[in-house]
Amino acid sequence: MKIVVGLGNPGEKYEKHRHNVGFLVLDSLARAQGLDWKLEKKFNAYVARHNDTLLVKPQTFMNNSGESVSAILNFYKVDAEDLTVVHDDLDLPLFEIKRQFGVGAAGHHGIESIIGKLGTKEFWRVRIGVGRPVNGQSPEDFVLSNFSGEELEGASALSVKIL
């Protein structure tokens, strides 16, 4: 079994934020496959199943993502090597994708939470560029800002390239 986790923050308030690109990509992937999301309270996450792959959107807020991720991996007895985490990255140009295995968090608090709860960094990361702050905007404010309508369409198109 493979687990693909999209990182983001739950709730309508956050759904178009740059920080939610992981949720946006998984939503697009689920739509393309005709999958339905189901809230799994024991994991505090929305889950959609496609063959031997679980798509997961933790509902713990970004900085506590490791709680949901570790609960799912433990329940299904899946090794961290079979985990892929899709998340935003300020260090990559808009919608550039970088896939890496076994690297550190590089300051991303959602990834820090996952590494802390799993006790390892030996999992896949799909980093998606969300651009850089402009005009002195703080990184925190920038990732919590909305994508433009055109950018949202671009985020949805990324799902084809993820898996």
Catalytic (active-site) positions: 19
**How many beta carbons lie within 10 A of that of residue 33, not counting itself?**
15
Separation CA 126–CA 128 (nearest Å): 6
Contact 21, 36 (CB under 8 A): no
Contact 69, 36 (CB under 8 A): no
In the chain, the amino acid numbered 17 is H
Angle in degrees, CA 90, 31, 152, rounded to 5: 35
Please report, for the chain, how many H helices and E strands are present, in that order: 6, 7
